[in-house]
Structures are given as C-alpha cells and as structure tokens.
Chain A
Amino acid sequence: MANAVGLQGEAIKAVPVRHPGRWVAAIVVGAIAAYIFYTVVTAIQNDHTKQGSGWAAVGHYLFNPLIFRGILVTLELTVLAMAVGIVLGVILAVMRLSPNPVMSWVSWLYIWFFRGTPVLVQIFFWFNLNLVLKSIDIGIPFTSFWLHANTNTLIPPFMAALLGLGFNEAAYMAEIVRAGIISVEHGQTEAAQALGMNRGLVMRRIVLPQAMRVIIPPTGNETISMLKTTSLAFTASVTELFTRQQQIATATYDVLELLIVASIWYLVMTSVLTVGQYYVERYFGRGTLRGMPLTPFQRFRRILFTFHAPPPAPVEVPVSLPRGH
C-alpha cells in the first residue's frame, strides 16, 4: 500500500542545510582582496617619482601609439609562432607514430632537444647565430645550384624570436597532438581501413578531426601561454609590447604604471583568446552531444525573451552548425 499515507507526489518542501562556513570564507577573502587592492591603488596614486601622474599615467599610456605598435608585433609573433608550432607539431606527432623507425626517432630526438632546453636559450641562439655562421648556403652538392644568404639579413631579430618560439612550441604541440591521436578509438582506424582508405586519408579525414576535441583545449592553453612568452622576444630586441613599455618606462620612470598598462593589454588579449577557444571547442565537439549547449550569448537572448513570455517548455536544441568541407 504505497499510497496509504496519501502522498500524491507533491514537490518536496524542506529547510535547506545552512553553510555558515561559506559566509566566513567570503568575508575573509573579501577583506584580504580589499586590502591588497587598496595598497596597490594608493601606492600608484602616491607615485610622485616624476610627474606624480599615478593612475592618470596609466590611462595616458594605455592608448599610446607606441604601445599599440607593440601590441601589433606581439599579436604577429603569437600567431606566426603558434602557426609554426602547430604545423610542425602535427608533422612531428604523425612522424612519432609512424611505423617507419627513422621518422619516429627523428621526431623523438627533436622533442627531446627542444623541450629539454630553455626557450630563452633558443631565442638567444638564433639571435646570435651570426657570431659563428656568417652566411648560410643551401644547394645541391656537385652542382652550381647554391643559395647564399647573409645570416644577419636572413635572421633579423623578429625572425630569431619567431624561430626560437615556434620551434620550441612545436615540441610541445607534438606531444599534445600525439595524445589526441592516441585518444581516438582504434576501431575508427579499422573501419576507415576496411573501407579502403590509406594511412594519410585515415589520419586526415577520420583520426585528426576526432583528435581535435582532445587537442584544442591544451592548444588554447598554449596560445595564451605563447602570447605572454613573446615578451621574451624583448631579449632579441624585438619591439613587441613588453619592449615598448620598457622603452617608455626607461624614458619616463613611470615603471609600475607601464607594467600595469602592459598587463591590462595582455589580459585583454588573453580574454579574447579564451572566448575564441570556447567557440572552436564547440565546433569540434559536434556529434559528441545529442544537442549542443547554448552559447552564453544565446542563453542571454533566451533570458531576455522569457521575461516577456510565460515560462517556455524545455526546447530541443537543434544541432545546426556551419559545416566546413
């Protein structure tokens, strides 16, 4: 007699458990944050080392044209270094998993070396290559076909930083891509092989697109990390954001102010990348969920919409995505 008590399946009304610890934690954290914030703000406000500009200087330098030119170089360097890293990384990962032992070993050696030495050392190496190698000659032995280039013209500072950052990144990307490839179930490869697809096709059309789901999050991570690591190009006298703020700071003594300006811009750029990563992940996650979760923007629109309408029934989210071919 399950219904003898007269329960008709009403919604449960119960007194929720109280969490006083959370309130204590919030107050402690809030107090510490307020103290740190206050200290920094007033310290900069009272920075009378030069013009006594303080926060006004931060606002002033934030839109300085030199800073903007630095930002542009930083973005260029990030995009190009990541492009080198991703392309080379995919090649290295495929080589690493190749049945050809020569390929596999070359890839292993590359990763071992470039992951095992500091990226700062690598940037310095390319920057100073002209000390030992005055010119670079590439050609076919025993023929007259030879290309000759002065090392300094071939590897200007920007190129030195790009090679250092890109080649180093490739080693990390190779491991990320390899992890992605391994994560794809072997049955996928077998099914594709059974259809007559060759190794290249299986990799390009079946395995890599599925590996993307595993590859994208750490790659986004790497890109954000790269954006900040480009500041090391400072050592190769590349005029990116960090170098620019340093130049202005040396001239004006507004050291802390300019560091804050640079930090604000780095934060803005990494925030944009974070949003971009969200959408890329969504795209490569298609087919893995029965319906796609809403984007924050779609959710926001739905909230606005439901303000004027009666509560809607749960809506089936259609999977409609731009298809790339």
Chain B
Amino acid sequence: MTDVPMVKAEAVHKSFGRLEVLRGIDLEVAAKEVMCMIGPSGSGKSTFLRCINHLEKIDAGRLSVDGELVGYQQRGDRLYELRDAEVCRKRSEIGMVFQHFNLFPHMTALDNLIEAPIRVKKESRAVAAERGRKLLERVGLGEKVNAYPRQLSGGQQQRVAIARALAMEPKLMLFDEPTSALDPELVGEVLDVMRGLAEDGMTMVVVTHEMGFAREVSDSLVFMDGGVIVEAGNPRDVLANPQQERTRAFLSKVL
C-alpha cells in the first residue's frame, strides 16, 4: 500500500515517573485495517492506545495519525507543542471506547450521542439527533433513546458508548478492553457490533483479551509484553504458531 498509514509509531517511549511503560514501539496500521493488541496487564498496550489520541504524552519517538504528528507540529527540524484547540480538533476525529464505558450518567442515551456533535462540531440539534437515532438503531438500541445509562445493562451501555464515538464520524476507532468489564453473556452483543463495524471498513485498534475476536475479525495481531512488541503478524499465524517463547507462554494461559 502506498497510502499514508492511519497510525504510524516509530520508537515510541513513555514513562510514568521512573517506570518505563513503553520502550520503543514501532508499528503501522493501514486505513481500513483492524489491529488487535494482546498481552498481559501492565504490558503497555492500553497506554499506547491512549497515546494515539494524546490522552497521554509520549516522551520519545514519533507517533502520527493519518500522516500528522500526535500532539506536535513539525516546522523545519523543530517540534512545536500543539495548542489545546488543535489537540481537541484531532481528538474529535478519533473515536475511543473505554473499558468502563464512561457514558455521561446525567444524560439520556441520545443526549450522550449528540453532545459532542452539537458542541464540538457545531452541528444543529436536528441533524445530530437524526444521526444519533440511526446509530442507536444500528447498535440495536433504537428503543432506548431516552434511557439513562444507569437503566441499561453493561452490554447496552457499551453499545451506546460505541455509538457515541461513531456519532463524531471518526476516521479511526480505538477500543480499550471494551468487553473486560462485562458479564460473560453480554460480551457477544458488543463484539457483534464491533464485527459489523470492521466489515463496514472502519479502521480499528482494539486492545482485547478476546482471542476469538482477534482470530476472526482482525487483520493483524500484536503481542506486547514489558513495553515492547514481542511478536506481530497475521492473527491466525500468531495464535496458532507463535514464534516467541513469551508469546507461547502467554497464549498457553489464555487460550
């Protein structure tokens, strides 16, 4: 592919105090690609995901989305930190789904969906609500338009959260362990929505423990441990025939 990759990371480092969480991450996610990231907790995969929309600042290396640096601008050979407004604009083009949903509890499902389009993209309420209803329909919650998050099950809440991210019409979707906080019987409904999204050609980076989803839906799989990428490649190959000892050890515990 000659296209600009949607996400490109080169030697990305990130530390929290003296703890080095990312120790040189190199990867590329092409447009319309679905990449799954797996690994033990504390391996840095969630931190990396949060770096992509600048919820965390990277300390070294280069990270860019759709050809533009995250959080900085390069003029000549100098880097300039982006102003808040610029950071916000870039974030508005990237959707993010959290482990604990983080729906706004004081708003109905529909209000959750239309808040950012109205306030950030300055859309009219009518246009935003129209798309909001369609999106709720699409995630199978057409009749929950006026429900408050507290009145919904975990799976329903996460589907609303996905719809909320989609309402901004993002070019990239980040999923941070979207099913980890769900009861086992609710995991399927969320994965189904994500599978549909992948089929529609959305570019997705998914941090997950769902090996089945990774095998069937993703185009590439990355196994992280200790802040580095241990192994990456075609998900079926990596899962069925891991080359690294650490990958084998991890997979033997989770599969």
Interface size bracket, B side:
20 to 34
**A289 near B: Cβ within 8 Å?**
yes
Given A205-B119, A287-B107, A287-B149, A196–B100 Cβ distance below 8 Å? no
Interface size bracket, A side:
20 to 34
For residue A184, give the distance in angstroms from its CB to the closest CB of chain B. 10
Q: Which residues on B sit within 8 Å (CB–CB) of A209?
A: 106
CA distance A228 to B33 in the complex (A): 66
Given A198-B88, A205-B119, A193–B55 Cβ distance below 8 Å? yes
Which of B90, B94, B104 contacts A188, CB < 8 Å? B104
Q: Which residues on A sit within 8 Å (CB–CB) of B103?
A: 191
Contact A194 B106 (CB under 8 A): no
CA distance A205 to B118 in the complex (A): 12
Interface residues of A in 137-194 (CB under 8 A from B): 185, 187-188, 190-194
CA distance A188 to B149 in the complex (A): 13
CA distance A272 to B168 in the complex (A): 45
Contact A319 B55 (CB under 8 A): no
Contact B120 A286 (CB under 8 A): no
| Chain A interface mostly | helix
**A121 near B: Cβ within 8 Å?**
no
Q: Which residue of chain A has its CB nearest to the CB of B96?
A: A194
Contact B105 A196 (CB under 8 A): no
Q: Which residues on A sit within 8 Å (CB–CB) of B148?
A: 286-287, 319
Q: Contact flags (1/0) for B161-195 with A, using CB distance below 8 Å?
A: 10011001000000000000000000000000000
For residue A102, give the distance in angstroms from its CB to the closest CB of chain B. 17
Contact B92 A196 (CB under 8 A): yes
Contact B100 A187 (CB under 8 A): yes
Contact A196 B89 (CB under 8 A): yes
**A267 near B: Cβ within 8 Å?**
no
Q: Contact flags (1/0) for B116-133 with A, using CB distance below 8 Å?
A: 100110000000000000
**B115 near A: Cβ within 8 Å?**
yes
For residue B134, give the distance in angstroms from its CB to the closest CB of chain A. 18
Which of B93, B104, B150 contacts A191, CB < 8 Å? B104
CA distance A23 to B105 in the complex (A): 46
Contact A198 B150 (CB under 8 A): no
**A91 near B: Cβ within 8 Å?**
no
Q: Which residues on A sit within 8 Å (CB–CB) of B84?
A: 198-199
Which of B100, B150, B168 contacts A195, CB < 8 Å? B168
**B91 near A: Cβ within 8 Å?**
yes
**B102 near A: Cβ within 8 Å?**
yes
**A250 near B: Cβ within 8 Å?**
no
Q: List 12 A-B contacts (CB under 8 A).
A: A187-B100, A192-B116, A193-B55, A194-B98, A196-B88, A196-B92, A196-B120, A197-B120, A198-B85, A206-B104, A210-B105, A287-B107
Instruction: List residues of chain A with CB under 8 Å of any chain B CB.
Output: 185, 187-188, 190-199, 201, 205-206, 209-210, 284, 286-290, 319
